[in-house]
């Protein structure tokens, strides 16, 4: 047994040193200024035209999708929606810095990462309309996407649970010897959960190649960040876990891309977690069930609207000469139509057969669920009008 000494790195002092807030300055990486110009002493990441356009288009597409789906919810076509307006750069540009083999474990406001991976408008709709084409088989509320083929873990509502799960997933990737990492998205609110603490500490001790990506958007529903924590954001916690940490301007796509690329490099090379705190702002309501006028001012929102991440990035793309007006317009109008069409199609697709009420609880249906579904079917047959969605499928 090796002798251990947990004091080996500890220095000694002879008067009381109180370690206080502000002892560490954790600056935020910015590459584009608020107007989208490259900052003088900053370097833009190496990123080709195609990828640049894909990032921009994904952000615009998601903004559009959000608008349409918020409207669809108002019209009563879907029951619930959750927009990511204002945070498009944080999620799109981070996803763009990953490899397709990397697992994405998200909170719920990262639809842009999923779109970037290639989730289609139809797929979005099938999930949100809980129809039989939804891979979740209509079991979860709208926005709880997931796609095994795209390495995007199905979303779960309980906050923070995906954080230690991401550590475990990444540990498995390491054991298996894949060259992939896991990225785990969460809000600054969710970072208050005990699971955050467990997940980061375990990842650090067990050397898991995972990127913890915190979207600090200032609010958890109505609770502002200053009632959520008293420290310097989430980044300052990395120090306590011995986790390498980068703070980044979440509204600067280039900065997010750079930071995530760097984080991925470190995670893979050193088999260790990296924490990224992306400073951004939730311009949207928390969800369609929320009304932010109850807890924040229009003026505050307006200030942030000026820092719109899409415009900022678009100007840089334009400066690069990579902005293709025509392609852009085509993409937008195509998307608009595709969304409209997909809504119309998806809402007409039936829900899953009643058997899917009991499938997937276990690998096979056990005796008691078999009894319950048999009884239920007989009941539906007796009262078909009361169960219109499934009656016609019951023989």
Partner 1 sequence: MKKMNLLQAINDALILEMRRNEKVVVFGEDVGHFGGVFRATSHLQEHFGRERCFNTPLTEQGIIGFANGLASQGSYPVAEIQFADYIFPAFDQIVNETAKFRYRSGGQFTCGSLTIRTPYGGGIAGGLYHSQSPEAYFAHTPGMKIVIPRNPYQAKGLLLASIRDDNPVLFMEPKRLYRASVCEVPEEDYTLPLGKADIVTEGSDITLLAWGAQMEVIEKAAQMANDDGVSCDVIDLRSILPWDAECVAQSVRKTGRLLINHEAPMTGGFASEIAATIQDKCFLHLEAPIARVCGLDTPYPLAHEKEYMPDHLKTYEAIKRTLDY
Ligand X SMILES: Cc1ncc(C[n+]2csc(CCOP(=O)(O)OP(=O)(O)O)c2C)c(N)n1
Q: Which does 26 bind (CB under 5 to 8 A by kind): partner 1, its own copies, Mg ion, none?
A: its own copies
**Cβ(278)–Cβ(187) under 8 Å?**
no
Does 26 engage in binding with partner 1 (CB under 8 A)? no
Please, is 254 exposed, middle or buried when counting C-beta atoms within 10 Å of its C-beta (0-12, 13-18, 19+)?
buried
Minimum CB separation of residue 317 from ligand X in Å reads 26
The tokens describing 224, both together, are 């502002």
In 199-273 the beta strands, taken as DSSP E runs, fall at 210-216, 219-220, 223-224, 244-249
The tokens describing 100, both together, are 């397709």
The region of 14-22, 179-187, 346-354, 368-376 touching its own copies under the rule CB under 8 A is 14-22
Does 159 engage in binding with ligand X (CB under 6 A)? yes
- Closest by CA position to 21, among listed 218, 191, 215, 236: 236
- Candidates 63, 109, 237, 282; catalytic one: 282
Cβ proximity to partner 1, 49 vs 392, nearer residue: 392
- Determine how β-strand 210-216 pairs with β-strand 182-187: parallel
The tokens describing 186, both together, are 């969460």
Examine the residue annotation and report whether 77 is marked as an active-site residue of this protein: no
Question: Rounded to 5 degrees, what are φ and ψ at 283?
Answer: -70, -30
Q: Please identify which residue in 89, 159, 278, 279 interacts with partner 1, judged by CB under 8 A.
A: 159
Q: Please identify which residue in 217, 258, 260, 261 interacts with ligand X, judged by CB under 6 A.
A: 217
Minimum CB separation of residue 219 from Mg ion in Å reads 5
Minimum CB separation of residue 93 from its own copies in Å reads 14
Q: Which does 20 bind (CB under 5 to 8 A by kind): its own copies, Mg ion, partner 1, none?
A: its own copies
- Determine how β-strand 219-220 pairs with β-strand 223-224: antiparallel
Site string for its own copies, 261-300 (x = CB under 8 A): -x---x-------x----x---------------xxx-xx
Residue that is written with structure tokens 């678009």 in the block: 314
Cβ proximity to ligand X, 108 vs 124, nearer residue: 108
Residue that is written with structure tokens 């921009």 in the block: 56
- Closest by CA position to 214, among listed 199, 223, 172, 222: 199
Cβ proximity to its own copies, 151 vs 217, nearer residue: 217
* Interface with ligand X in residues 273-302 (CB under 6 A): 282, 286
Examine the residue annotation and report whether 295 is marked as an active-site residue of this protein: yes
């Amino acid at each position: 047994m090796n002798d251990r000494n947990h004091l080996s790195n500890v220095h000694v002092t002879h008067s009381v040193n109180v370690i206080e807030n502000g002892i560490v300055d954790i600056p935020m990486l910015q590459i584009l200024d608020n107007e989208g110009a490259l900052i003088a002493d900053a370097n833009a990441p190496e990123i080709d035209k195609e990828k640049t356009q894909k990032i921009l288009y994904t952000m615009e597409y998601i903004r559009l999708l959000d608008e349409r789906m918020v409207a669809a919810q108002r019209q009563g076509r879907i029951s619930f929606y959750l927009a990511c307006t204002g945070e498009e750069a944080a999620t799109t540009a981070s996803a763009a810095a990953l490899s397709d083999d990397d697992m994405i474990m998200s909170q719920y406001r990262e639809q842009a990462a999923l779109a970037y991976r290639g989730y289609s408008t139809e797929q979005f709709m099938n999930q949100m309309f809980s129809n039989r084409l939804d891979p979740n088989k209509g079991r979860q509320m709208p926005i709880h996407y997931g796609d095994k083929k795209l390495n995007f873990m199905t979303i779960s509502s309980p906050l923070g649970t995906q954080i230690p799960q991401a550590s475990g997933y990444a540990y498995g990737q390491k054991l298996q010897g894949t060259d992939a990492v896991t990225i785990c998205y969460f809000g600054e609110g969710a970072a208050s959960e005990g699971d955050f603490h467990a997940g980061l500490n375990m990842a650090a001790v067990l050397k898991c190649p995972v990127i913890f990506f915190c979207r600090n958007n200032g609010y958890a529903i109505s609770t502002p960040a200053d009632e959520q924590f008293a420290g310097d954001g989430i980044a300052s916690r990395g120090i306590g876990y011995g986790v390498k940490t980068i703070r980044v301007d979440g509204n600067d796509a280039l900065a997010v891309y750079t930071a995530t690329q760097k984080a991925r490099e470190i995670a893979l090379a050193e088999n260790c977690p990296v924490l990224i705190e992306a400073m951004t702002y939730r311009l949207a309501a928390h969800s369609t069930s929320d009304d932010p006028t109850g807890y924040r001012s229009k003026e505050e929102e307006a200030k942030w609207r000026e820092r719109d991440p899409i415009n900022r990035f678009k100007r840089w793309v334009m400066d690069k000469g990579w902005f293709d007006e025509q392609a852009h317009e085509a993409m937008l109008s195509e998307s608009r139509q595709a969304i409209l069409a997909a809504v119309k199609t998806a809402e007409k697709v039936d829900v899953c057969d009643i058997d899917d009420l009991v499938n997937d609880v276990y690998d096979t249906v056990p005796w008691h669920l078999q009894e319950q579904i048999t009884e239920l079917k007989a009941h539906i047959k007796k009262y078909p009008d009361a169960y219109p969605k499934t009656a016609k499928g019951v023989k």
